[in-house]
Chain A
Amino acid sequence: MEEIASLMHGFSVALTPYNLALMFVGIVLGVIIGVLPGLGGANGVAILLPLTFSMPPTSAIIMLSCIYWGALFGGAITSILFNIPGEPWSVATTFDGHPMARKGQADEALTAAFTSSFVGAFVAVIVITFLAPIIARFALQFGPAEFFSVFFLTFASFVGMGRGSAWKTLAAMALGFALAAVGMDGVTGQLRMTFGYEQLLNGFDFLIAVIGLFGIGEILSSMEDGLKFQGSNAKLRLRVVLTTWKKLLGYWATSIRGCIIGCWMGITPGGATPASFMSYGLAKRISPRGANFGKGEIEGVVAPETAAHAAGTSALLPMLTLGIPGSPTAAVLLGGLLIWGLQPGPLLFVEQKEFVWGLIASMYLGNVVGLIVVLTCVPLFASILRIPFSIIAPVILVICAIGAYTVNNNIFDVWMMLVFGVVGYVFNKLRYPLAPLVLAIVLGDKAEESFRQSMLLSQGSLNIFWANPLVASIMSLGIAMLLWPLVTAFRARFAQSRSATAV
């Protein structure tokens, strides 16, 4: 096996004390960046990029990719503790992670999230190691129609997930699509729905919406409940990691599914966000405990985290082999590669063996180091919830405001965040689900763009979505997902009437 020899050589490159120290620094910085909403992996890497110009390229990419791993780990922390997802792919983690924290199981939720992240990332690295050249070619088959089919599948696997009225889900999703459409229309190059306001040029950034809807909305709800934070009964159990691991073994099927979805979405490159939502949606459908999802089910943390990290890791593959970034952070890393004098592309694996295999080896090591760092801190993170609400709430508010400001360095966004906070509170009161709204804000414009690109290519014919086996099979899967709730409802009714006639 040539790959194993190369990988061993890679380990020898990555395993110098200097590189190991950089790994550790990168992970810690990354976790901090991930915890601060708004700063995010892409911004964090961009800010720190110039620091690495004086380093050898291999050490530089090791440190930056470790920041990336750290940010991926860190994103889960605020999602679970405060219901504030720091990154788009952490949104699905809040659905069950935060209810667990409210039940006093924050430490379990964190352990589950970190461990699943690790599993997802690790599987993805193994895939990269052995299948890189084969899989890279697969990504080339993805044109606009294929991208749209992936987004369609994501939305379809999510429909019918919300409890309560389907109309409310639909209304929330439609509002999300409308908000996603504000700003520049990429296909015609015209501004839409900005009503002459400069502030709306940029549209509604997903992060502003999420920090407001989830974070501020949560604080408003907690205030109404009488200034007490439900997570305050968090226990500090030192053995929690081991006991949670024992539980996690039971969810191996969910993990494997998450890994497959994640690797596939990372490579294609659909990205980590659709992967996390799709994996959560599927787990809810398939799991026997699906009905409990949203109320603090550990499986609801495992599914999105595994998929998000498998996708986040495998997204580096199209970046290295094709020069197309699978995520915003990968885009910044791509810029870094060029500055260090490396040209990402099909020849990188041939010409820069040392660099590529050093990076891949650092993915193994970085994830192991990351897991150890974050797991040892679980009791520390969980104990944050023991701080009285009257002290922690203003701190969260300030962090949210800073986060919202950092996204675009714009004070208007802070006001928008507060408005979204009120919207989130009202939605909660009226029992409108937030998830479809957020999903539509995150993926709405991308789905629209790829749909319209497809229409341009086919000159208006919908046949393009059935033009080849790849796109046709994804579309069929999407339609099956869309009709699944109807089928199950129908079957339930059928079974009921049959038992009625039998009696």
Chain B
Amino acid sequence: MHLRRTTLRCRLAGAAMASAALLAGAALPAQAWEPTKQVTFIIPAGTGGGADQMARFIQGVVTKHNLMKQPIVVINKAGGAGAEGFLEVKKSKGDPHQIIITLSNLFTTPMATGVPFNWKDLTPVAMLALDQFVLWVNSETSYKAPKDYIDAVKAGADKQFKMGGTGSKQEDQIITVALEKVTGGKHFTYVPFRGGGAVAVQLVGKHVDSSVNNPIEAVAQWRAGALRPLCIFDNKRSTYTNKVTDTMAWSDIPTCKESGVDVDYQMLRGIFMPGGVTKDQVAFYVDLFKKVRETPDWKEFMEKGAFNNTFMAGDDYTKWVAAAEKRHHELMKSAGFLAEAK
């Protein structure tokens, strides 16, 4: 198994190098390949979540602006925390009519469950954006800054404070465990829910004490004055300066780092294809997503969800994914979430 994967990788790398050389030398026409039948867009998550919203939004933009001749069909394959979708793409080696949108479960699901797949079984196409995470508390509490809340956790009993999050052993719980490094040995009680919207409502209803919701999941409650953002888990503040509430914009939320809570985490919203596809085929989709990102609809969508609007493709993207995998492995390992560790 291991041997086979290594040889596959060598062959892929070989093919990539060969076609790169070809591109550099001959400067082929930009569009050498395009889909000849409908493209299946797989979502390794349920309907209504962040990945689902983005995929269906992309489908809508592609249709509305007529960016592709063939139709694009979106299907959800959410089983086993997304494993079902990833295994499907892994099995469809060489099929250029299949793409998949990923979230952090690209890394966390195989690590936590031992289901046999890895991003190296797929072909990276492009990073569309990075999704942010924000530390939220109920606005009726007295915590105005991250330090107030962390101090309260430190002063309280172990496991007294409840953190609500989406899923188990996935991004929300990883951040929670990372936060425990600064709480002086006090743990959170992490309570997993099915979706980010449900988590935000549980926090409004004071059934949990805090959450690390994505901006888009909690923005409505923030604007209504029910939730308060304490800090954003990024190295720098958000770039969106338009007022979201009467007094604050996304850019007014301090980073956790500048508030003395040294935790940062973003989630990949990226596109992959099955393994064994040609460079031309990848290039078609890179170009397609570039066009999607140029539409005003996309810009509006990015601002609404306060996404970190970073685009990457080619080697940069592959390197980023490899680094992200390493980081997740470390985070999962230190949290004790690895399947092998059991």
Contact = CB atoms under 8 A, between A and B. Distances in A.
Interface of A: 42, 46, 49-50, 53-54, 139-144, 183-191, 194, 198, 201-203, 322-325, 328, 331-332, 334-335, 338-339, 341, 343-348, 408-409, 449, 453, 456-457, 459
A49 B60 contact: yes
Contact of B79 (A325, A338, A408, A453): A408
18 contacts: A50-B63, A53-B61, A53-B63, A140-B205, A144-B191, A187-B168, A189-B337, A198-B83, A202-B78, A325-B48, A325-B197, A332-B48, A335-B48, A338-B53, A341-B304, A345-B219, A453-B192, A457-B162
A183 B223 contact: no
A323 B200 contact: yes
B192 A187 contact: yes
Given A142-B205, A144-B207, A184-B81, A347 B224 contact: yes
Interface in B159-174: 159, 162, 167-170, 173
Q: Nearest 8 A-B pairs (CB), nearest first? A: A345-B220, A202-B79, A331-B48, A189-B168, A201-B80, A143-B207, A189-B169, A346-B224
Contacts of A50: 56, 59-60, 63
A341 B193 CA distance: 26
B249 interface: no
Contacts of A144: 191, 207
Nearest to B74: A46
B79 A343 contact: no
B204 interface: yes
A200 to B, nearest CB: 9
Contacts of A183: 79-80
A184 B47 CA distance: 17
A335 B78 CA distance: 17
Contacts of A459: 159, 189
B100 interface: no
Contacts of B193: 453
A278 to B, nearest CB: 22
Given A53-B60, A323-B197, A339-B56, 8 more contacts: A46-B76, A50-B59, A189-B169, A198-B83, A328-B48, A331-B46, A344-B220, A457-B191
Nearest to B342: A190
Contacts of A343: 219-220, 223, 304
A45 to B, nearest CB: 9
Nearest to B108: A189
Contact of B216 (A139, A141, A338): A338
B309 interface: no
A191 B339 CA distance: 11
A332 B47 CA distance: 6
B251 interface: no
Interface string B133-177: 000000000000000000000000001001000011110010000
A235 B187 CA distance: 68
A55 B147 CA distance: 47
Interface string B199-225: 011101101100000001001110110
A187 B193 CA distance: 8
Given A144-B191, A331-B48, A184 B207 contact: no
Contacts of B56: 46, 49-50, 335, 339
B220 A198 contact: no
B52 interface: yes
A140 B64 contact: no
B320 interface: no
Given A186-B194, A323-B197, A341-B300, A456 B189 contact: yes
Interface string B102-134: 000000000011010000000000000000000
Contacts of A453: 191-193
B168 A186 contact: yes
Contact of B201 (A201, A202, A323, A334): A323
Nearest to A52: B60
Nearest to B40: A409
A339 B224 contact: no
A88 to B, nearest CB: 15
Contact of B220 (A323, A335, A449, A457): A323
B168 to A, nearest CB: 3
B113 A189 contact: yes
Nearest to B42: A409
B87 A198 contact: yes
A293 to B, nearest CB: 34
Contacts of B205: 140-143
B228 interface: no
B80 A322 contact: no
Given A140-B201, A141-B205, A408 B77 contact: yes
B39 to A, nearest CB: 13
Candidate in A203, A322, A334, A346 with the most chain B CB atoms within 10 angstroms = A322
Contact of A331 (B47, B201, B208): B47
Contacts of A202: 78-80, 84
Contacts of A344: 220
A42 B47 contact: yes
Contacts of A142: 205
B221 A346 contact: yes
A324 B197 contact: yes
Interface string B214-245: 00100111011010000000000000000000
Contacts of A331: 46-48, 195
Contacts of B201: 139-140, 322-324
Contact of A201 (B53, B64, B79, B162): B79
Contacts of A324: 197-198, 201
Nearest to A201: B80
A322 B203 CA distance: 12
A260 B301 CA distance: 39
A457 B207 contact: yes
B4 to A, nearest CB: 18
